[in-house]
Amino acid sequence: MILDQDNAKKVAKILLQINAIKLNPKNPFIWASGWKSPIYCDNRIILSHPKTRLFIRNEISNQINKFYEKPEIIAGVATGAIGIGILVADLLKLPFVYVRPSAKKHGRENQIEGTYQKGQSVVVIEDLISTGNSSLMAVDALRNAELNINGMISIFSYGFPISFENFKNKNVKLNSLSSYDILLKQAYESGYINVKEHEILSEWKKNPQEWGLQK
């Protein structure tokens, strides 16, 4: 869910300006999943831009304060949300942990890095939501550690129906600063893409896993 439409437009504009999001319908990217995609999002680039990272930090922190039960811990999903998660935790003066995709094979063999106590409440920070599967693996790890999940907030979401279904099934509240639909509108209105490119990008979202196979 997008909680602030005006700020969602600002976030989309900024992500395009700093090339955290690239749109290229003519020469699609290939995701790790194997999907062909006319969009690629790397929100780690935000950390290289001081004004942008503080803006994103403030937006996430404001939404946590307004729309979530007060957490005792901020958790970042590795690796993309570690940096911004630390910034948010610092602003809110809360402890920070991060969650790996799986436990380490050496040392303490931790999946959750940081100090926490059973029963503490957590808001999870994510940089990007596609299907939501990897994000929800982090939630599972936190719940297995007997931590209580107040919800998750991401910088950007593709808004795939499967992601909404996955979060609903896991009973996890999810909000995002901006989304694919808002990004497309912003990109078109600013002249970043033309009518034909807008049509291609809109079609991709309807069936992303099959879109690449049609090319």
Spans of all domains in the chain: 5-198
Q: Tokens 């290229």 belong to which residue?
A: 24
d(C-alpha 143, C-alpha 88), whole Å = 21
99-128: pLDDT as tens digits: 999 987 777 779 999 999 999 999 999 999
pLDDT, tens digit (0-9, with 9 covering 90-100), for 11-64: 999 999 999 999 999 899 998 878 899 999 999 999 999 999 999 999 999 999
Shortest CA distance to 81 belongs to which of 31, 47, 109? 47
Task: List pLDDT tens digits, range 132-157.
Answer: 999 999 999 999 999 999 999 999 99
| pLDDT on residue 212 | 65
Torsion angle, alpha carbons of 161, 43, 190, 132, to 10: 0
Angstrom distance (rounded) from CA 157 to CA 174 = 10
At 8 the pLDDT is 97
Cα gap 34→213, rounded to integer Å: 10
pLDDT at residue 201 is higher than 80: yes
Q: Which CATH number fits domain 5-198: 3.30.1380.10, 3.40.50.1970, 3.40.1360.10, 3.40.50.2020?
A: 3.40.50.2020
pLDDT at 40: 95
Joined together, the tokens standing for residue 136 give 């929800």
Q: What is the mean pLDDT of residues 160-177?
A: 97
Q: Is the pTM of this model over 0.75?
A: yes
- What is the Cα–Cα distance from 29 to 36, expressed in whole angstroms? 6
Of 94, 98, 45, 97, which Cα lies nearest the Cα of 68?
94
- Say whether pLDDT at 215 is over 60: no
